[in-house]
Amino acid sequence: MSAAEVNFDGLIGPSHNYGGLSDGNLASARNAGDVSNPREAALQGLEKMRRLVRMGLVQGVLPPLPRPNFDLLVSAGFGGSDAEIIEKAAKQAPGLLKVAYSASSMWTANAATVSPSADTADGRLHLTVANLSTMLHRAQEHPDTTAVLQAIFSDDRHFAVHAALPMHADFSDEGAANHVRLSAEHGAPGVELFVYGRDAGESLAGFPARQTRLAAECVARGHGLAPARAVFARQSRTAIDAGAFHNDVVCVGTADTLFFHEAAFEDTEATLGALRTASQGLFELKPVMVPLAEVPLEDAIRSYLFNSQLLVVPGESRLVLVAPTEAADTASTRAYCDRLVDGNGPIGRVDFVDVRQSMRNGGGPACLRLRVVMTEAEQQACHPDVLLTEQRIDALQDVVRATYRDRLAPADLADPALASECRLAREQLLKVLNLEELA
Ligand code: SUG
């Protein structure tokens, strides 16, 4: 059946700031405490969405979650009016206020894991919301994310939205950032690769491994995937300790192509072997491995070469890689991209996109989108107004220009006016998307 990959980007929220909240995410640590520009961040994200619309692709958007998260502050013991809650939290628990204000839901690759209907036992499209249990600021996302996905994918004849797995370290799940789907073409049955950093119960020294094998297995089971078409591979400890806190920092794949760094997997040969076995009769795997000798792991992580969108673009015979501008600014990755395009492999073009505001928190082009392969009927059945036209992008940008600050310093989170501004901005964005029910 014919189907399209719909990229649902996270619309960057008005409280985007550099909180330094993510242990193991080098960019988040490096830029902690800097002044952010939420307006520029959201406009950059929307321009990336516009670029894909212009390529002839179907582009979706997910609205920001309500911030600050007053429920979190109230459950932490703060009471009174909104302004009183903010004032008290700013004095007594500034770290918690920063968490409550985090705009981290912009990175929708972590919103859920998605299996298209061509892969599932009941022929429905399945989404399991990620519990994001490792980092406090991300662990607060899943209830609101569930509400958003339920509002968009509400037709249960076509869609199954699963709530997050239990909030325990054994079930740590970071969603599609650790998941790659490969297939002959989007609508054909595929192979799903789940990458995990540790086993349930295993505790490791070094940076946190945010995904367990158990969580991945639960998601695959819940989606009704054929066991022979699901592959579980361990992310290399070296990559995690070098700052690859999700597999999508060192690997991206689409159609029959897997583009990855030599240091991405604990056992590359075994991973490729399992993928070849799982894809028998469906497609012939095309691995594109970037050698350490050509791109050092540090460069791969600093430039986010692999945190790119790998796209099947109408009218182009080879895949297009939409990479962050940082990959053009880093000598080794720039040279690699030039060779990649000059060669006769499956990737024919690299397009660079400026998402620097998000990048400074460790979120590249691929973090900002959740891929949902959808048939025509599924596209018709989902909430229509989240599928973007350029006019709707213009309307969202108008709201951003009118309601977002262009400067947010850590101390500004103590200003109660910011909370009202965030609420107003979100209400107006939801109105453009006809999702006022989420306000
Ligand atoms: O979870 N950064 C996010 C970046 C997520 C990137 N997503 C993917 N790789 N798919 C994270 O570490 C930083 C927030 C702060 O420090 O304010 C943050 O949460």
Mean pLDDT of 187-208: 97
Tens of pLDDT along 218-237?
A: 999 999 999 999 999 999 99
Q: Ligand 1: which of 9, 16, 17, 28 to mutate, most ligand atoms within 8 Å of CB?
A: 28
Flag whether pLDDT at 159 surpasses 80: yes
Cα 356 to ligand 1 centre (Å): 13
Task: Judge whether 74 lies within some domain.
Answer: no
Task: Judge whether 136 lies within some domain.
Answer: yes
- The confidence score (pLDDT) of residue 1 equals 72
* pLDDT cut 90: percent of the chain above it: 100
Q: Active-site residue 367, yes or no? A: yes
Establish whether the linkage from the previous residue to 314 is cis, with ω within 30° of 0. Answer: no
Q: Please work out whether the CB of residue 21 comes within 6 Å of at least one atom of ligand 1.
A: yes
Considering only CA atoms, which residue is closest to atom 10 of ligand 1? 367
- The confidence score (pLDDT) of residue 96 equals 98
Q: Residue 436 and residue 375: Cα distance in Å, rounded?
A: 26
Reported confidence tier of residue 131, pLDDT bands at 50, 70, 90: very high
Q: Residue 33 and residue 317: Cα distance in Å, rounded?
A: 45
Q: Is residue 56 within 8 Å of 320, Cβ to Cβ?
A: no
Tens of pLDDT along 232-281?
A: 999 999 999 999 999 999 999 999 999 999 999 999 999 999 999 999 99
Q: Please work out whether the CB of residue 212 comes within 6 Å of at least one atom of ligand 1.
A: no
Task: Judge whether 96 lies within some domain.
Answer: no
Beta carbons within 8 Å of 222's beta carbon, 6+ residues apart: 126, 128, 162
Task: Judge whether 339 lies within some domain.
Answer: yes
Task: Judge whether 319 lies within some domain.
Answer: yes
Q: Residue 337 and residue 326: Cα distance in Å, rounded?
A: 12
The pairing of strands 309-311 and 319-324 is antiparallel
Q: Active-site residue 192, yes or no? A: no
Tens of pLDDT along 62-101?
A: 999 999 999 999 999 999 999 999 999 999 999 999 999 9
Q: Please work out whether the CB of residue 104 comes within 6 Å of at least one atom of ligand 1.
A: yes
Tens of pLDDT along 412-422?
A: 999 999 999 99
Mean pLDDT of 114-137: 98
Q: What are phi and psi of 96, to 5 degrees?
A: -70, -35
* Helices vs strands, H then E, count in the chain: 17, 15
Q: Residue 301 and residue 415: Cα distance in Å, rounded?
A: 35
Q: Residue 61 and residue 382: Cα distance in Å, rounded?
A: 12
Cα 299 to ligand 1 centre (Å): 18
Q: Active-site residue 174, yes or no? A: yes
170: buried, middle or exposed (CB in 10 Å: 19+, 13-18, 0-12)? middle
Tens of pLDDT along 365-404?
A: 999 999 999 999 999 999 999 999 999 999 999 999 999 9
Flag whether pLDDT at 217 surpasses 80: yes
Task: Judge whether 93 lies within some domain.
Answer: no
Task: Judge whether 90 lies within some domain.
Answer: no
Q: Is residue 193 within 8 Å of 253, Cβ to Cβ?
A: yes
Q: Three-class SS of residue 2?
A: coil
Q: Specify the CATH number for the domain of residue 276.
A: 3.75.10.20
Domain residues for the domain of 117 are 3-67+102-438
| Number of independent structural domains in the chain | 1
